[in-house]
Amino acid sequence: MINRCKLTKIFRNGNFGMGEEWVSAAQRRANQRGRLILLSEKEAPNILSLSEFLTKLTDAAQLLGCDALYTLTEEFQGEDYRGYVEAYQSFTYERQVPCTSEEAPWADRPDLGLYHLRSWMDKGLLELPEGSIVRNQLRLVEADKVKEIPKNLNAVNGLRFVVCGFEKYRPGSCSSSWRSKVRQGTWRSV
């Protein structure tokens, strides 16, 4: 059973979704994470219109039950993505798709993204089917060309966005001092 789903989009180049396997409350207390499973992937270099791309993206979000979409929301490597984000937000509002658009964690650090990818893989928590686009692209990653991943390997770039999203925004993670910030007493308290 999938507990949470995240989606990533690389504007004009495609998208894919990942789901995290459900983990029981007892395992979560032991800091156990569920396996990440590739649910969908699409390369989309030939999409002619933004509305066609956004339709495919929101259809995938609804189908997979994704709650967050990780992408570039500001300027990155000389290209401004804010207009795309605003178009996405408007599109999801009109279609009533409850999938928020968030800045991909550590978007400007492909080396950190690969570290988290490797960490999840080493723990046996990242499942990529043989023959998938992203698995084939991972084989092409060279240590001295890591900084070129955003330009050349769209699927790997998207995968690092999603894995870093799962890494940074853990389920149920909150500070241990949250109880001190909650108002004490009953609703009748002054």
Per-residue tens of pLDDT for the chain, all 190 residues:
444 555 555 444 556 677 777 777 776 666 678 888 887 777 665 556 778 878 877 887 777 777 778 887 777 777 777 888 888 888 888 888 887 788 888 988 999 999 999 999 999 988 888 988 888 988 988 888 888 888 788 888 888 888 888 888 776 544 444 444 444 444 443 3
Strand partners, 103: 71
Element (H, E) at 92: helix 82-95
**pTM of structure:** 0.73
Q: Can you tell me the distance from the alpha carbon of 54 to that of 60, in angstroms, rounded to the nearest whole number?
A: 10
What is 2-181's CATH topology? Nucleotidyltransferase; domain 5 (3.30.420)
Cα end-to-end span (Å), the chain:
44
What's the pLDDT score for residue 8?
Answer: 56
Domain ranges of the chain: 2-181
**DSSP single-letter state for residue 185:** S
